[in-house]
Amino acid sequence: MSGLYLVNNTKDPLSRTVPGLDGPFAKCKLFCGTLKDLNLTETIINLETVNPIEFFGVNNGKLDILKKKFPLLKILSRGTQIKLSGSPEQVETAKEKIDLLVQYLERNGHVSENYFEQILGGDDAETVDHFVDRHPNDILVFGPNGKTVRARTINQKKMVGAAEKNDIVFAIGPAGTGKTYTAVALAVRALKNKMVKKIILTRPAVEAGESLGFLPGDLKEKIDPYLRPLYDALDDMIPADKLGYYMSTRTIEIAPLAYMRGRTLDNAFIILDEAQNATDLQLKMFLTRIGANAKAIITGDLTQVDLPKNQKSGLAKALYLLRNIDGIAHIELDEEDVVRHRLVKAIIRAYDKDKQEHDEQQNNDHRPRQ
């Protein structure tokens, strides 16, 4: 491509300060010729395998991040293509990063601006390993109709790793971070691989601000609404006829936490969901049910306690008491792990900010006056 170019070269005696320009091109010289003459190169990358809006971002927000990361490159987008022009080294580096982004989007379908920046800026091997699919066989479960279930975020992958190395895992984080879904996938995988003989899924039967006590039906029909999220996760991972068989033979059991009292759970994968709604005594009871060749995952969100005001959640205490015991792992998930609607992250941030401001105000109110 021939034309008139501004070449960054502050050491060249022919370079001149160009009015109106700053940054790397504040001092440059005019050059008439081709990119090849300047030892520059260009490449075109096709993005046909991903959603261009997900790659470029709303109003090209992610594209702007890419341009800021590589200010010496000329970066143009058109349709499903992106064109890079500049020095061979810069073009190659940018291409490698874009390939990582494409690979991540192909696997997950979405990448937040935060992760977008991390992928562009992460040059160390550990950061790259988080995003590169070095293990294409890391699928947890093949569900009905060929659906694949796998850990989709960094902390979900940490959760999988922790469950493989420990018998008890606490997974704590806000709504929508995939805690329960990942835990159920790990349990189903263990059952399919014959690592355990049964799956037990349990939740405290606590009303989330509304009463279900006067609904018609027997005890099971009254309790099922509390356990619906567990059924939904299983529906994604096991064909309906097979799931029905597992439920009828009690190979998979879904029950309220109160039903765990007095049992010893051997050769089982046990999940306690919504553990923030368990009292101290209930959590102790659950944790002491775990028998030989059993694994347990406890999930919860400390910001969504639905217990009556006269009862206290036992989750925070359990996390503190069990923090240094070998074989028990703790994983924290956050808003970057949210895999629901994109607005859920913004909602979580808004509530977290409000809670922080409320806590600060309370602290100020309790300070002694000078």
Work out the mean pLDDT of the chain and round it to a whole number. Answer: 80
- pLDDT given at position 330: 96
Q: How many CA atoms lie within 13 A of 285 on its CB side?
A: 15
Dist. CA 172–CA 60, nearest whole Å: 34
Task: Please tell me which residue, 298 or 152, carries the higher pLDDT value.
Answer: 298
pLDDT at 127 over 70: no
Q: Which residue has the tokens 């775990």?
A: 290
Task: Please tell me which residue, 24 or 258, carries the higher pLDDT value.
Answer: 258
pLDDT at 207 over 50: yes
pLDDT at 140 over 90: no
**Average pLDDT score over residue span 22-49:** 64
pLDDT at 357 over 60: yes
* 198-207, 219-228, 270-279: which is most confident: 270-279
Task: Please tell me which residue, 285 or 357, carries the higher pLDDT value.
Answer: 285
Neighbours of 26 (CB within 10 A): 14
* 156-160, 308-312, 336-340, 345-349: which is most confident: 156-160
**Average pLDDT score over residue span 176-200:** 92
pLDDT at 90 over 70: yes
Please say whether the beta carbons of 248 and 272 come within 8 A.
no
- pLDDT given at position 26: 46
The proportion of the chain whose per-residue pLDDT surpasses 70, expressed as a percent, equals: 75
Name the nearest CA neighbour of 278 among 337, 220, 319, 325: 319
Query: Could you give the angle at which helices 179-192 and 154-165 cross, rounded to 10 degrees?
Result: 40
Q: Which residues pair with 72 in a beta bridge?
A: none
Task: Please tell me which residue, 361 or 220, carries the higher pLDDT value.
Answer: 361
Name the nearest CA neighbour of 231 among 203, 264, 266: 203
- pLDDT given at position 158: 92
**Average pLDDT score over residue span 145-165:** 85
**Average pLDDT score over residue span 270-280:** 93
Name the nearest CA neighbour of 289 among 276, 300, 304, 278: 278
**What domains can you pick out in the chain, each with its CATH number?**
2-131 (3.30.1370.10), 141-358 (3.40.50.300)
- pLDDT given at position 318: 95
pLDDT at 206 over 60: yes
- pLDDT given at position 58: 87
- pLDDT given at position 39: 75
pLDDT at 248 over 90: yes
Task: Please tell me which residue, 169 or 335, carries the higher pLDDT value.
Answer: 169
**Average pLDDT score over residue span 303-321:** 90
Residue 281 burial by CB count (10 A; 0-12/13-18/19+): exposed, middle or buried? exposed
